[in-house]
Each structure stands twice: as C-alpha cells, then as structure tokens.
Amino acid sequence: MIWPFAARAQQLDRMRRVGVLSPLSPSQVTSPPFEAFRIGLRELGRVDGKNIELVYRWADGSRERLNKFAAELASLEVDAIFSAPGTPTAIAAQKATSTIPIVFAGVGDAVGTGLVASLAHPGGNATGLVNQSQDIAGKQLEFLKEAIPGLARVGVLWRPSNPSYKNLLRRFDDVVAATGVQVVLLGAENREDLLSVFEGMKGNQIDGVIVQADDLFINEGTRIIELAAAHRVPAIYRLGYQASAGGFLAYGPDIPDMYRRAASLVDRILKGANPSDLPVEQPTKIELVVNVKTATALGLTVPALLLQRANEVIE
C-alpha cells in the first residue's frame, strides 16, 4: 500500500494541522504532559498558531465522543493525529482513518490489540510510545509490598472494557509467586462505580490498591485519591503527579517525557517519514514518587531503602 505522506512533505511552507485526540477533559490542555508535547514541538521549530495548528478534541471520558471526534479529525484531513493517552484512543483514531498518520502515547499493548504489526516494524499508519505495562505492574506490586507491613491482599483497580488489560493477572504472576500476595481485580467502568469499589475494599480485606492508568482513572484522579484517603487504603498509581496530588506512591513512565518524544515523531512524519517505518518506542525514564505526608496520614512509615530508591520524595 502506498501512503500519501510524500505529498504532505512537499508542502512544507504551509500551515500544518495536527489533530489532538484525547479521552480526557479539556482542562488537561494545560497539564504537564500536553504542555511537554507543545514544548517538544517548539524545540523543533513548530509553534502552535504560527506554523502549526493543533486541533484539539477532548472526549471527557465518553467512548462515544471519542469515536465521534476521531472521525471528525479524519474528515478535517489533518496532516497527522496525536492520540493520547491510552489504547482505546489510538484504536478510535485508527478506526477513523487508514491514511492519516497517527502517533500514539501511553498505549499498553500495541501489538496485541492490533495497532501495529510489531514494535520494530509497525507496518501501518500508526506508531508511537508504549508504557511497558507488564513490567511496571509487577514492580508496583513489589513497591507496595515493601511499603506495607503484612500486605496480604492487593486490589487492582481496572476498567474491564479496556482492551489493553487482557490477561491482566498474568502481569503479577512472578511477584505473586515470590511473595504470596493475593491479587484481586476490582472493576470500574464509570465514575459512579468508584465509590462502591472503595466501600467494598474493607469487606474484601484489601490491604492496598494498584490503580491502572485508564483514562477514566486519570480523569477521576482527584476523586480516587480522596476515596483512598477516606477509606484509608494505601494506593500506588502510574503517574508521578498523582502522588504529588496526594496519592501514596506512584511508579511508571515519565509521562511528560513520553509526550515530548511523541512530538519528535510527529515532526518526523510532517517532514515525510512513514509511520510504518518508525519503530514504536518504549519509556526511557521510569520514576518512583513517594508521598511521605500521605504515608503518615495512613499510619505508615516508609522504609528508608524505598525512600533512597525514589526519584522524588514529597514531605
């Protein structure tokens, strides 16, 4: 199949249009990740409103709007689509167009969900950055075990409809085998489910919870942190700024760095590169953030060794 990217590359003197498709709320436009994306573009000489136009579409937690906005961006015939975060977002973009280049960020399983043929050779109209979800999940469980004396049962807050969570329990197999900690899946599909999930943790004897990085849990990050505090459940998150906002622990990719690198892929595509030839990238920066203030409120003393390993400690 021949992609019409060369024709785009020949029009370097015109204003380039990049669609930004996100499942998050419009307030996220000023968040560290999306600011990092714009900074990355500026560093490459592409300034929003000057020689590039960023066309935002925010689904605000609605899968229906996500699909609608993906189709809308495709109809606008933008030069590229940046989809972030999450696997469902990238899938929505790819369903909407097979010709417009797509750069995704924060995808869990790009190969397993069919977004790309392989990480080294994507083979279609999409490439981007994955989040190493399998490796990170096991490490999250290790850190939670290290931080909570007597940890026996860990809940995993997940969204069953997210295709990247297929075989989720397998991601914890090695740690479970080594420590004997039992992992319990706690499903939530919408905001209304969150309260009942946290209310049921005591009855389920949940000692700690691992919060997945689904767009629902990013949109409802503040509420989840508040619920964890109210029910005195230590939680570990994927995004560093969630610990800064009051979460107990966070371990995962440096998301702003990921979005900044995504800007570089967008730039290469606008210069004529074919996404099928651009390998999917994995995180180069993984960060551990510990909120000591939250630990104290939970009655926990964070081990010195864990503090030494942290990239950031919030007192």
pLDDT score, position 21: 98
The pLDDT score that the predictor gives to residue 134 is: 61
Indicate the pTM of the whole model.
0.85
Structural domains of the chain, with CATH = 5-130+255-284 (3.40.50.2300), 133-253+287-314 (3.40.50.2300)
How many CA atoms lie within 13 Å of 247's alpha carbon, on the beta-carbon side?
A: 28
DSSP code for 279: P
- Residue-level pLDDT at 133: 61
CA distance 154 to 137: 12
Give pLDDT, residue 8.
46
Q: What pLDDT does 3 receive?
A: 47
Task: Return all residues near 80 (Cβ < 8 A) that are at least 6 apart.
Answer: 18, 19, 100, 101, 102, 103, 266, 269, 270
Please check whether residue 66 is in contact with residue 88, taking contact to mean a CB–CB distance below 8 angstroms. yes
DSSP 289: E
Which residues does the chain have with pLDDT short of 70?
1-13, 133-134
Residue with tokens 């966070």: 250
pLDDT of residue 104: 98
Contact (CB, 8 A) for 262 and 256: no
CB 222 within 8 A of CB 254: no
Please tell me the distance from the alpha carbon of residue 153 to that of residue 162, in angstroms, as a whole number. Answer: 23
Q: Give the angle 191-23-185 at the CA atoms, nearest 5°.
A: 45
- At 175 the pLDDT is 82
List, as one string, the DSSP characters of 207-269: -EEEE---HHHHHTHHHHHHHHHHTT--EEESSHHHHHTT-SEEEEE-HHHHHHHHHHHHHHH
pLDDT value at residue 265: 98
Which amino acid type is present at position 9?
A
Q: How far apart are CA 29 and CA 22, in angstroms?
A: 10
> 204 is written with which tokens?
């389920």
